[in-house]
Structure 1
Amino acid sequence: MAYGAAMSEAAVDLPDERDAIRRALIEWYEDDHREYPWRETDDPYAILVSEVMSQQTQLDRVVDAWDDFLERWPTVGDLAATDRSDVVAFWSAHSLGYNNRAKYLHEAATQVVEEYDGEFPESPDGLSELMGVGPYTANAVASFAFNNGDAVVDTNVKRVLYRAFSIPDEDAAFEDVANALMPDGESRVWNNAIMELGGVACEKTPRCDEVGCPWREWCDAYETGDFTAPDVPTQPSFEGSRRQMRGRVIGALKEHENLTLDELGPKVRVDYAPEGEYGREWLRNLLEDLADDGLVEIEERSDQPIARLR
């Protein structure tokens, strides 16, 4: 089946058996799916934490960090009341990626407490007003916490729609078809189900028969054997990456409070040499990035700058 680029055409060209397609996917998901703790709650705070942690991080790695985070800060009020440096240090210690996510999560919690009397907005538009909450995250929280979202479109969903219904590799077409398929008022179960389909059955290497994909009878790729899909960006290696070095800076400053460049350098890289490739200039650039993100302060001194957490 061919799809035109126009959104309205894409929606019209879906198979006639839409109710059967919806029912098959939801039944497949409800019968058996991966169990993650954030799927067992409708607490918007807990769900927001899971969504922020899951950005470019494998879900299985997120579970322990999510549990630890909510044990330490069980409510949005608890998070807002804590010092931001504690949240950043937690983020770094759990290797959760860019530390500015921790800063934004803390600021969003503060907004909820101070501007919304501790109650989260319930719509994607309202949630998008929170610091660091983009359209995808806002829609996910609205869907999973309040059953009040649009269809989620991530890389897994794009891969499913591209293969199953020959949707062109265009964001507008994916969004339109995803919303045309989602049953009214069922964003919570639907978005979980279609993302599960992409994460379990319609991976880069598909496992259609192995996991009993519920869409095989309608799927163009299954019929033709052509399982090509849009390019999916790969996550850069964490080991040796700039974000790992940023995390080490935060960890060292959390432990030692104030450090000169030459005191801090060896705690970030074992091959630190003041005049070397990974020396003062390299470290200063790293610190300035963190300062721009509001995480670090640099105090200029006559001998060497002093770095500390903000």
Structure 2
Amino acid sequence: MTADVELPDDLEAVREALVEWYEDDHRDFPWRRTDDPYAILVSEVMSQQTQLERVEEAWTAFLDRWPTTAGLAAADRSDVVGFWTGHSLGYNNRAKYLHEAARQVESEYGGEFPERPGELEELMGVGPYTANAVASFAFNEGDAVVDTNVKRVCYRAFNVPDDDAIFEDVANRLMPEGESRTWNNAVMELGGVACTKRPRCDEVGCPWREWCSAYASGDFTAPDVPTQPSFDGSRRQFRGRVIRTLREYDELRLDELGHRVRVDYSPEGTHGREWLEGLLEDLSADGLVTIDTRNGERVARLRR
């Protein structure tokens, strides 16, 4: 399923901004420093419904004890489950599946991990998401990874409808070809530290503020975030319209802008020049818009 979701025209700039932001500074989890598919699989299984900061100690201890699929495959299953329980990782079935997957790699694949998502799904307990993550982070052979954080980013930034198939489609359109390892890490990091449930756009210098619909409108609703008051007719809606209009026209006189953002705009009316100037002052305070006086007339433009 696909949807007519409009992505920015300057998509390459969107991609470059995110990758530069990620490479400049990101959380340094140890599984991001390896391309060992076994180590990455362990991190993905442990990370399911568990905070990454809690996973780090358990992941290191697990690999110290069973550093290879051969070592894990030869282990007693009760020891693996006992480790899982002892580190409060929850859902002991995940430990059983991981143990069985290691046995499969050894017995069915000669100790070598398959590289493509479809092949990785043949391993016990490895679903589409985990298979794609391992393919991406170990082999740079995956599609776009779509977790809750990525959905939140796409929903807010590009108005993607809350539909899993559409999220998959848009996420893959965003991802540069052949760059699944870096890209998936970067977009997941964006959702993990910037586009969180309570957004930290300016605090962490979100690289997509220039293009983000939520940042322009102030409406940070998302699939996993409670719905805000009605958007239709709200100041959030018109903030977004101002940003989109100025992005198209670069700069406009206030009355020209007013007529383009609402059909009932009247310079001296209730929704007139005074209302528009108040909206622009808010956007100016947020660092999004600049208001100048030129030849006796007020002119608005996006801040670059």
Report the AA paired with residue 27 of structure 2: R
TM-score by length of 2: 0.73
Hey, what does 2:145 align to over in structure 1? 152
On the 8 A contact 2:143/2:172 being kept in 1, the answer is: yes
Hey, what does 1:87 align to over in structure 2? 80
Report the AA paired with residue 171 of structure 1: D
On the 8 A contact 1:155/1:232 being kept in 2, the answer is: no
Hey, what does 1:188 align to over in structure 2? 181
Alpha-carbon distance in structure 1 between the residues aligned to 2:155 and 2:107: 43
Hey, what does 2:96 align to over in structure 1? 103
What does 1:21-40 correspond to in 2, within 5 Å? 21-40=14-33
Closer/same/farther in 2, CA of residues 94 and 232 from structure 1, 3 Å limit: farther
Hey, what does 1:9 align to over in structure 2? 4
SS at match of 1:131: coil
Hey, what does 1:297 align to over in structure 2? none
- Identical positions, percent: 77
Hey, what does 1:299 align to over in structure 2? none
SS at match of 1:66: helix
Report the AA paired with residue 134 of structure 1: G
SS at match of 1:7: coil
Specify which of 163, 167, 175 is matched with residue 170 of structure 1: 163
Specify which of 48, 57, 62 is matched with residue 41 of structure 2: 48
Segments of structure 2 that go 5 or more residues without pairing to the other structure are: 227-304
Hey, what does 1:226 align to over in structure 2? 219
On the 8 A contact 2:146/2:168 being kept in 1, the answer is: yes
Superposed CA deviations along residues 162-186 of structure 1, whole A, max 9, x for unmatched, are 0000111111111100000000000
What is the Cα deviation at residue 232 of structure 1? 6.2
Report the AA paired with residue 2 of structure 2: M
Q: Is 1:74 matched up with 2:34?
A: no
Superposed CA deviations along residues 12-65 of structure 1, whole A, max 9, x for unmatched, are x21101000000000000000000000000000000000000000000000000
Report the AA paired with residue 102 of structure 1: A
Hey, what does 2:192 align to over in structure 1? 199
On the 8 A contact 1:151/1:191 being kept in 2, the answer is: yes
Structure of higher RCO (CA pairs closer than 8 Å, 6+ residues apart): 1
What is the Cα deviation at residue 8 of structure 1? 4.8
Alpha-carbon distance in structure 1 between the residues aligned to 2:117 and 2:94: 19
Closer/same/farther in 2, CA of residues 232 and 121 from structure 1, 3 Å limit: farther
What is the Cα deviation at residue 9 of structure 1? 2.0
SS at match of 2:222: coil
Alpha-carbon distance in structure 2 between the residues aligned to 1:86 and 1:205: 40
Segments of structure 1 that go 5 or more residues without pairing to the other structure are: 1-5, 234-310
Specify which of 102, 112, 116 is matched with residue 119 of structure 1: 112
Alpha-carbon distance in structure 2 between the residues aligned to 1:8 and 1:169: 11
What is the Cα deviation at residue 231 of structure 1? 2.4
Report the AA paired with residue 15 of structure 2: R
Superposed CA deviations along residues 247-274 of structure 1, whole A, max 9, x for unmatched, are xxxxxxxxxxxxxxxxxxxxxxxxxxxx
Alpha-carbon distance in structure 2 between the residues aligned to 1:201 and 1:87: 35
Superposed CA deviations along residues 193-245 of structure 1, whole A, max 9, x for unmatched, are 00000000000000000000000000000000000111269xxxxxxxxxxxx
Closer/same/farther in 2, CA of residues 36 and 104 from structure 1, 3 Å limit: same
Alpha-carbon distance in structure 1 between the residues aligned to 2:179 and 2:49: 26
What does 1:207-246 correspond to in 2, within 5 Å? 207-231=200-224
Hey, what does 1:298 align to over in structure 2? none
Superposed CA deviations along residues 70-103 of structure 1, whole A, max 9, x for unmatched, are 0000011000011111000000000001000000
Say how many residue pairs are matched: 226
SS at match of 1:85: helix
Alpha-carbon distance in structure 2 between the residues aligned to 1:216 and 1:8: 23
TM-score by length of 1: 0.72
SS at match of 1:9: coil
Report the AA paired with residue 14 of structure 1: L
